[in-house]
Amino acid sequence: MELIDAIQERKSIRGYLDRSVSQRVLRDVLQLATRAISAENAQPWEFAIVSGDVLKAISDDNIEHLRSGVTVDSSYDQLDGIYRRRRVDIAKQLYGAMGIAREDRPRRNWWLERGYRFFDAPAAIILYMDSSLDVSAYRFDMGCVTQNICLAAQAYGLGTCVEYQAVTYQDVLRKHLAIPESKYIVCAIAIGYPDPNFPANHVVSTREMLDNNTTWYGF
């Protein structure tokens, strides 16, 4: 796959085929992805790769927490202005593709819960880092390796969705995985073979016109 095609075609995949991903393939994806840049080559990333019964147990506990109304602080809920509008826009695109009406509470809940159970993907990658490195430079590095994973996955026919929803309840992840309190859990990546018939997988998210956020000097 050409690099330009991979970058152009990557999109979040929220519906997966019931087909497992081999440990070998996941290893290859991660091996490739860890060629990512990092500040001072610190490589702050650590991964927990989860599948099978363990993934099911985490998903079940996430859903139980969600249904019982366990709340957590979420700074990314506080979007304003243009950023809020973009969030609303992608939500509208996704709900539209799935045919979920604004007032359809049961279907909206169904959709919400899918995120908390990794969109029923056959595998998930939990990305975490040492808490001592939780400053902007190293968080940036986590983003770089995350993007690389998403791009590399495509070369193996895999789809991904980076997500915060599934790591909302850090206690759940720590219970099922050997991730100590000294580690900060950054995000999850649902990963698997995309279901071509899942409507939300056809959504192409919009991007701001480049000229609206770019300034050129000295040309």
101: Cβ–Cβ under 8 A, 6 or more apart, which residues?
Answer: 95, 107
**Is residue 90 at the binding interface for ligand FMN, with CB under 6 A as the rule?**
yes
Which window, 11-19, 26-34, 130-138, 170-178, contacts ligand FMN (CB under 6 A)?
A: 11-19
Which positions from 120 to 159 touch ligand FMN by CB under 6 A, shown as an x/- string? ----------------------------------------
Question: Distance (Å, rounded) from C-alpha 55 to C-alpha 121?
Answer: 9
**Is residue 164 at the binding interface for ligand FMN, with CB under 6 A as the rule?**
yes
Please identify which residue in the block is written with the tokens 């649902």.
190
Count of helix runs (H) and strand runs (E) in the chain: 7, 4
Which window, 9-17, 40-48, 60-68, 123-131, contacts ligand FMN (CB under 6 A)?
A: 9-17
Nearest CA to 200 among 82, 110, 65, 127?
110
**Is residue 12 at the binding interface for ligand FMN, with CB under 6 A as the rule?**
yes
State residue 77 phi and psi, 5-degree precision: -75, -15
**Is residue 36 at the binding interface for ligand FMN, with CB under 6 A as the rule?**
no
**Is residue 112 at the binding interface for ligand FMN, with CB under 6 A as the rule?**
no
